[in-house]
Chain A
Amino acid sequence: GSGGKEGKGWKKFQSYKGEGALPSEVERLRIYVDRKAQTVILPMHGSAVPFHINTIKNASKNDEGEFTILRINFQTPGQLAGKKEDTPFEDPDATFIRSVSYRSPDGHRFDNICKQITDLKKEANKREQQKKEMAD
Chain B
Amino acid sequence: MTTQFDRIFHGLSPEVGKFRVAASGMAWKGADSEGVIAIPASHIDWAQWMRVARGFQLRIGMRDDKREHRTEKFDGFAREDQDKISSLLKTHFGKSLETKEVSFKGWNWGTTDFQGNNLAFLVSDRTAFELPLTQVNNSNMASRTEVTLEFSSVSSSAKTPAKSMGDEMVEIRFHVPGVHTKLKGSGSDD
Contact surface of A with B, Cβ cutoff 8 Å: 4, 8, 13-22, 26-31, 37, 39, 42-52, 55, 69-70, 74-78, 89-106
Contacts and interface: CB of A to CB of B under 8 A. Distances in A.
A55 B176 contact: no
B53 A39 contact: no
A46 B177 contact: no
Contacts of A69: 170
A9 B55 CA distance: 37
Given A4-B189, A14-B105, A98-B174, A43 B162 contact: no
Contact of B111 (A22, A94, A100, A101): A94
Closest 6 CB pairs of A and B: A29-B166, A15-B106, A52-B106, A48-B53, A16-B104, A19-B51
Contacts, number: 157
A22 B104 contact: yes
Nearest to A4: B189
B1 to A, nearest CB: 30
Contacts of A89: 109
Interface in B18-59: 51-55, 57
Contacts of B53: 26-29, 43, 46-48
14 contacts: A4-B189, A29-B53, A29-B54, A45-B130, A45-B169, A46-B12, A52-B105, A75-B108, A76-B109, A94-B177, A96-B108, A97-B173, A97-B175, A100-B169
